[in-house]
Amino acid sequence: MASKQTYRVCFCFRRRFKQTVAEAPEEIKALFNRYSENGIMNADHLRSFLIEIQEEKTAKTEDAQAIIDSLRELKHLNIFHKKGIHLEAFFRYLFGDTNPPLSPSVGVHHDMNSPLSHYFIYTGHNSYLTGNQLSSDCSDVPIINALHRSVRVIELDIWPNSTKDNVDVLHGRTLTTPVELIKCLRSIKEHAFSASSYPVVITLEDHLTPDLQAKVAEMVTQTFQDVLFTPESECLMEFPSPESLKQRIVISTKPPKEYLQAKLKESDSQKGKDSAEEEAWGKEVPDLKVELEAVDKQNGSDEAEDEEDADDGDRKLQQNTAPQYKHLIAIHAGKLKGGLSEWLKVEPTRVRRLSLSEQELEKAVITHGAEIIRFTQQNLLRIYPKGIRFDSSNYNPLLGWMYGAQMVALNMQGYGRSLWLMHGMFRTNGGCGYVKKPDFLLNANKAFDPKATLPVKKTLKMRVYMGEGWNFDFKRTHFDNYSPPDFYTRVGIAGVPADSVMKKTKTIEDDWTPVWDEEFEFPLTVPELALLRIEVHEYDMSEKDDFGGQTCLPVSELRTGIRAVPLHSRKGEKYSSVKLLMRFQFV
């Protein structure tokens, strides 16, 4: 009995869960001393700090006073003074929710009056799937979730139902359970503009007979009514602007033709071995240096049929299609007869949408990179995951964005690093789902080359001070049964190959509020396409390191100065408390 009692005491002693109180890093203390007097920072002091360190050039004394007034709730901690604030209140302000790395008040600030082809558009792939590509349920729920994230392109695969008298949405020739098209359409109508007022494009992957196409036309027109955008002419010579299409629904699909039963490609089912299961936090984003040099010799996507040739021969078959359905199509999709050079031809009398699989794009950029960029200056290019990604994993979206592709389609349920980059890109421009492409991708006189070695435009200098909040958002035993976690941070850039890099801090052992206080520099040749990647992991000697949070931020909209950076879960949901204190400077 005595020995058992002794063992219990030892066991308890080993559980070292003592919480350390977050203390301001030395640089923060030094800055407070510099911008305060006798241990008190008043509104004038704080205004000087905001202008000189945070580079908020228009800050007024009233703005600084408003910050001080907002800190009155900390009075119970004895860190508030009637003439200003003490160090602890200043530290709490810097580490608080009101000091994020992206400005919460900027909103939509890009020019929204250019054609749709001038924008990157937040695009989903197989938007109705709840899980994997082969056996998951089809539902309107992931569509609703995507719209609430400001996803602006929703993809629906439409097939005859089992009795051939109605239309279902499902991933064809798989075991996915269908959902009725009308349910998806009604959910789109209800939630389309819940997070953004800019247009929603529905891309239809059409496998219907003419009579069912007519039924779809009736469903679409009755559901969306005046919200539906229908062009006056059969083919657009130029795409409308996002501004002109606010609060509108736009339909995109290939021109209708006779229903053809597509053959199941045996090659797809043979290649599942290439789609390995993601790590706990997602595979590392593929290295674009390697991706751009490799030619993927496998050709597998059951979507290849969806962009069959849209030439004059197709149009001869249209007498067998529903004219109402044809009239709905605002953005025509399809490939011209011939090979890649023909597909990428810019037609003077019409604009269209072209779809390429990720493998097709990888091959195309090697020999036709400049042509792709020229094509995307007027036309829309959609990139979709290769068919062997049965687990709903994703590819590196930068591969498409670098070449001007507007609709880089990812599986929104395929959580991992690729999707985190997507989240980061579309935090830009007020999170409205449309991001104006950089001017160099719109320059008709000089083609941009993402693989070229360019001079450094600016350098992002960044300090990772510390982190906090895991003890509130995670169970005490989540990372380790017997001691506090051992955290380290990975930081880096996703962008053109020359700019892409990842670095890491040292590991701080046994601390819920780790202080790294490390500085990093990232030279940027194309800052307009650069995304700042931030991940926190907990070191585990015997197993895979544990995930501790992530975020991805557009470099173009980073606020300089000392900022509190909230972290998100693998699914991209913001944690309640977990955040990092960091400083950003451009030199």
105 located within any domain = no
Considering 171, 368, 423, 537, which one is annotated as catalytic?
171
Separation CA 221–CA 204 (nearest Å): 15
Residues 174, 253 share a domain:
yes
Q: Is residue 518 part of a domain?
A: yes
CA dist 16 → 10, 19, 482, 485 (Å): 11, 9, 6, 10
Question: Is 7 inside a domain boundary?
Answer: no
Last residue of a domain, one of 45, 61, 94: 94
Instruction: Please report whether residue 134 resides in a domain.
Output: yes
179 domain-assigned: yes
3-state secondary structure 430-487: HHCCEEECCHHHCCCCCCCCCCCCCCCCEEEEEEEEEEECHHHHCCCCCCCCCCCCCE
Structure-block tokens of residue 112: 């929204």
**Distance separating alpha carbons of residues 412 and 128, to the nearest angstrom:** 10
Beta strand 487-494 with 501-504 is: antiparallel
Per-position DSSP letters for 192-259, written without gaps between them: TTSS--S-EEEEEEE---HHHHHHHHHHHHHHHGGGB---SSSS-SSPPPTTTTTT-EEEEEPPP---
Strand order across the 487-494 sheet: 501-504, 487-494, 531-538, 546-554, 561-568, 574-586, 458-468, 515-524
Which residue, of 387, 415, 441, is where some domain finishes? 441
Q: Identify the CATH number of the domain in which residue 505 sits.
A: 2.60.40.150
Catalytic residue among 45, 86, 125, 423: 125
Q: Kindly state whether residues 60 and 127 are assigned to the same domain.
A: no
- Shared domain for 219 and 329, answered yes or no, is yes
Is 431 found in the same domain as 572? no
Same-domain status, 199 and 342: yes
Does the active-site annotation cover 171?
Answer: yes
| CATH number for position 144 | 3.20.20.190
* 300 plus 435 within the same structural domain: yes
Are residues 183 and 286 part of one domain? Answer: yes
- Predicted model pTM: 0.88
Are residues 73 and 140 part of one domain?
A: no
Statement to judge: residues 307 and 195 lie in one domain: yes
Instruction: Look at residues 64, 94, 124 and tell me which one is the last residue of a structural domain.
Output: 94
Could you tell me if residue 83 is inside a domain?
Answer: yes
Residue 326 lies inside a defined structural domain of this protein: yes
Same domain? 462 vs 582:
yes
Catalytic (active site) residue 125: yes
Q: Which tokens hold the place of 72?
A: 């009155």
Q: Do residues 60 and 144 share a domain?
A: no
Residue 342, domain extent: 116-259+282-441
Q: Whole-angstrom Cα distance, residue 123 to residue 395?
A: 13
Residue 335 DSSP one-character state: B
pLDDT, tens digit only, all 587 positions of the chain: 444 444 344 444 444 545 556 899 999 999 999 999 999 999 999 999 999 999 999 999 999 999 999 887 765 555 556 788 999 999 999 999 999 999 988 899 999 999 999 999 999 999 999 999 999 999 999 999 999 999 999 999 999 999 999 999 999 999 999 999 999 999 999 999 999 999 999 999 999 999 999 999 999 999 999 999 998 888 899 999 999 999 999 999 998 763 333 333 333 433 433 333 344 345 777 766 665 555 434 333 334 444 444 333 343 445 566 788 999 999 999 998 899 999 999 999 999 999 999 999 999 999 999 999 999 999 999 999 999 999 999 999 999 999 999 999 999 999 999 999 999 999 999 999 999 999 999 999 998 999 999 999 999 999 999 999 999 999 999 999 889 999 999 999 999 999 999 999 999 999 999 999 999 999 999 999 999 999 999 999 888 999 999 999 999 999 999 999 999 999 999 999 999 999 999 99
How far apart are the C-alpha atoms of 547 and 485, rounded to whole Å? 11
For residue 17, being part of any structural domain is answered with: no
CATH of the domain at 57: 1.10.238
Query: Which residue bears the tokens 């953004």?
Result: 196
Q: How many domains does the chain have?
A: 3
